[in-house]
Structure 1
Amino acid sequence: MFTGIIEALGRIESIESVGGDRRMVFRAPGYLRGVQLGDSIAVNGCCLTAASLSDDGFMADLSAETLNLTTAGRWEAGARVNLERALTPAKPLGGHMVSGHVDGIGELLERYEDARSTRMRLRVPDALARYVARKGSICIDGVSLTVNDVEDGPGKTVFGVNIIPHTLAHTTLGDLQPGQAVNLEVDLIARYLERLLQARSDGA
């Protein structure tokens, strides 16, 4: 589990194709103190396993499913990535409960300045639209955010978020431009609530 509060910005050092999967090396000097082999690290919202460690980075294997169902299949060497180590009992839960299992890929449609903040509007896949609610939580490329508003339209749902200067400066959201794809993870509570209501309906 994670919180969606980004701890550091890393960089993809190398990408290697291995038997249909990919092996990636991520560089993050000074960030990996205390990380053990096999620990989970969220990279742009994708929960990855540290398969090997070095003084300033780690290597992870990415399966074909991860490459197909997240933006990881589009990552390139040299790109910056958001990093967060797994939640521990001593870690403050400053964002919301995040599993690191990406639900789908969204697209940034628009960004514009609003006072000192930046507003972003994103398209969400139809299958996830019912989980996105005004003032609910959503995770974009591993960043915990609050949904400002939701617009439902024929064949598409668009939602808006507000990005404060600190988040722009300390995550990859500052680099994001219209047309780019992002990893989305919807609120776990919304998923559990839907499952609970479905069970009650089936038992009625």
Structure 2
Amino acid sequence: MFTGIVTDLGEIATAEGAQGTLKRLRVHSSYDPATIALGASIACGGPCLTVVAVGPREGGCWFDVDAAAETLDRTTVGEWAAGTRVNLERSLKIGDELGGHIVTGHVDGIATIVAKESITGGDDPWGPTARFTIKAPHALAPFIAEKGSVCLDGTSLTVNSVNDDMFSVLIIPHTLAVTTWGDRQVGDRLNLEVDLMARYAARLADARRAE
């Protein structure tokens, strides 16, 4: 379980395997290797992946994760290569601050950036702010609500507006600086996880209609 609050910006060091098969990724991170156990769950760019190997490196650690066919089919992980930067979050511990919203790391589908607008310029003392307009897969659009929560590439964000299968999010300067959002451009594909409560509410509504 996660919150969508990114705690490190990692980089893919190596990627072995191909789309549709098991893919092993080595991630470079600033995490302390002594705190990562084999079998630990780390959200990497959205998907919850299991650590299968870990070791120290200058400035932090490296860790290996495996992505199976389901993950490769539903996420952008199959597109990752050496040099790809990914948002990282360690799994929650009892007593941790729930700063974002409840995130499972189970990606529902892939969304696409269709517009990017700079809200403040470089003269702003806090740096730029950006509004992104994003197109969701049609089947997932009903789960996205104005002022609700959504997880994109592992970041917990508030939905600003919704228009059919299009929605917008506002990214503040801090988030642009410490996550992959600072690199994002029109046409980029994003791992989308809809709000957990919306998912279950829709399932219950379907069950009632079936009755």
Matching residue's letter, 1:163: I
What residue in structure 2 maps to residue 189 of structure 1? 197
Do residues 133 (structure 1) and 145 (structure 2) align? yes
Offset of residue 65 of structure 1: 1.7
Shift in alpha-carbon separation, 1:117–1:93, aligned structure 2, 3 A: same
CA distance in 1, matches of 2:111, 2:137: 6
What residue in structure 2 maps to residue 54 of structure 1? 55
Matching residue's letter, 1:178: V
Offset of residue 68 of structure 1: 1.6
Offset of residue 32 of structure 1: 4.1
| Number of aligned positions between the proteins | 199
In the TM superposition, 1:58-137 aligns within 5 A as 58-115=63-120, 116-137=128-149
Matching residue's letter, 1:106: A
SS at match of 1:51: strand
Matching residue's letter, 2:112: E
Provide the TM-score with structure 1 as the length reference: 0.93
Do residues 24 (structure 1) and 25 (structure 2) align? yes
Offset of residue 33 of structure 1: 4.2
CA distance in 1, matches of 2:114, 2:90: 29
Q: Confirm or deny: 8 A CA contact 1:8 1:31 kept in the other structure.
A: no
CA distance in 2, matches of 1:92, 1:32: 22
When structure 1 is superposed on structure 2, of 190-199 and 99-108 the one drifting more is: 190-199
Q: Deviations over 1:134-187 (max 9, x none)?
A: 0010000000000000112xxxx1100000000000100111110111100000
Q: Deviations over 1:104-127 (max 9, x none)?
A: 001001111113421000000001
Provide the TM-score with structure 2 as the length reference: 0.90
- Aligned counterpart for 1:143 among listed residues 126, 147, 155: 155
CA distance in 1, matches of 2:140, 2:208: 21
CA distance in 1, matches of 2:67, 2:204: 32
Shift in alpha-carbon separation, 1:33–1:169, aligned structure 2, 3 A: farther
Structure 1: unaligned runs, 5 residues or longer = none
Matching residue's letter, 1:17: G
What residue in structure 2 maps to residue 159 of structure 1? 167
Shift in alpha-carbon separation, 1:28–1:120, aligned structure 2, 3 A: same
Structure 2: unaligned runs, 5 residues or longer = 121-127
CA distance in 2, matches of 1:132, 1:151: 10
Q: Sequence identity of aligned pairs in percent? A: 49
